[in-house]
Amino acid sequence: MSRGRPLLAAVAVLGFASASLADSLAARREYVMGTIAEVRVHAVRPGADPERAIEAAMGEIHAVDRLMAVQRPDSDVSRLNRGAATRAVTVDHRVIEVLRASRRLSELTDGAFDVTVLPTVRAWGFLSGRPRRPRQAPRPAGYRHVRIDAAHDAVAFDQDDVGIDFGGIAKGYALDRARTAMLRHGVRSAYLDLGGNVATLGSAPDGGPWRLGIRHPRRPDALLGVLEVGEAAVSTSGDAERFVEDEQGRAGHVIDPLTGRPADALVSATVVAASATLADGLSTAAVVMGREAFADLLPRVGARAVLVELGHDGRPIPWIGPGLRLHTAPAPGRAPELPSHD
């Protein structure tokens, strides 16, 4: 059956992907990490089993969730937050890996990325599902107060007001693990989406680039444009999903670690990188850093980005960094199939 290039389909938080469910050998959607994970396999090595590949990928994501969710009292991060101010706490090596990646990101971004935001995030109610502007919120203690003993997989805090929240990086890390598991299982082409974080393997089913929609930061049903990427990871952060809105305006869930207040330099930042961990952390940092500082950083970290500010009239003003094009509309004759997700 010749169907030409697949229509744009399947809106995720990020937008839509160029490959629909119908083109896949196997696919699955599950609720995990507080969001929807969608994994689709489009091509495998001869003899490889796409179902098993998906099973392995989902397994990796669930494992990261069990270790790193602050909402779970028995997660490693919760054990850390309860105990590491009084003694060194031993954690899974994956937690050490994310802590080290987080530290590198903090150093690269001059502290804009900082996993010690938990007390602030809590004070704003962003973990409760019913966020509200607090009268006062604590400032994050700062990443320098987290001591990582990588040789012993142990972590200690040197202050007692440290609270770690991996919300800005864990989904990216889970995607990297899931993608690696897929490769191990012989997958050649796949699309993975974890609540606004996307990772791709190989090329799209039509042999071309993957086409990903970037959601309009103020209109949930509209797209700002379409990005074409090869094998890559793409992450979007901003105030479109989780925010407080009151007479003082909109406040999103990305915190400026310096002030302890929601960052408002950008309404949305989309970062394209080879690593999903990096893309996730960087997109969070971009919202804190703003366009100029983050644009300066891009060449040093090997990433590309679309950064969106809000104009005085409330309209989004996208800045499209080097190496990317934001296609404003789907190719002629291919209206987007804006997409029921089932």
Sites of contact with ligand ADP (CB under 6 A): 113-115, 117, 121, 126, 165, 167-168, 171, 195-196, 237, 241, 253-255, 257, 280, 283-284, 288
d(CA 129, CA 142): 25
Report the nearest approach of ligand ADP to the CB of residue 237 (Å).
Answer: 3
Strand 197-201 to 89-90 pairing: unpaired
* Angle formed by the axes of helices 93-108 and 50-68, nearest 10°: 70
Specify the 3-state DSSP secondary structure of 287. Answer: helix
Shortest reach from residue 189's CB to Mg ion, in Å: 25
Give the range of 56-64, 80-88, 226-234, 277-285 binding Mg ion by CB under 5 A: 277-285
Tell whether residue 280 is a contact of Mg ion (CB under 5 A). yes
Max distance between CA atoms of the chain, in angstroms, equals: 65
284, 291, 303, 321: residue in contact with Mg ion (rule CB under 5 A): 284
If contact means CB under 5 to 8 A according to the sort of partner, which of Mg ion, ligand ADP, none does residue 288 touch? ligand ADP
The site partner of 81 among Mg ion, ligand ADP, none (C-beta below 5 to 8 Å per kind) is none
CA angle 19, 179, 336 (to 5 degrees): 20
The CA distance from 7 to 206, in Å, is 11
How far, in Å, CA of 257 to CA of 147, rounded?
A: 18
For residue 315, give every residue at least 6 positions away whose Cβ sits within 8 Å of its Cβ, in sequence order, or none: none
Q: Shortest gap between Cβ of 306 and ligand ADP (angstroms)?
A: 15
In this complex, which beta carbon is closest to ligand ADP, that of residue 23 or of residue 165?
165
Closer to ligand ADP by CB, 23 or 38: give it: 38
Among 131, 168, 196, 202, binds Mg ion (CB under 5 A): 168
The C-alpha atoms of residue 125 and residue 129 are separated, in whole angstroms, by 7
Please say which residue, 206 or 241, places its beta carbon nearer to ligand ADP. Answer: 241
Return the number of the residue (175 or 182) whose C-beta is nearest ligand ADP. 175
Q: What is the DSSP string of 101-136?
A: HHHHHHHHTTTSS-GGGHHHHHHTTTTTS-----S-
Question: What does 173 bind: Mg ion, ligand ADP, none (CB cut-off 5 to 8 Å by kind)?
Answer: none
CB of 283 to Mg ion, least distance (A): 5
Rule CB under 5 A: which residues touch Mg ion? Answer: 168, 237, 280, 284
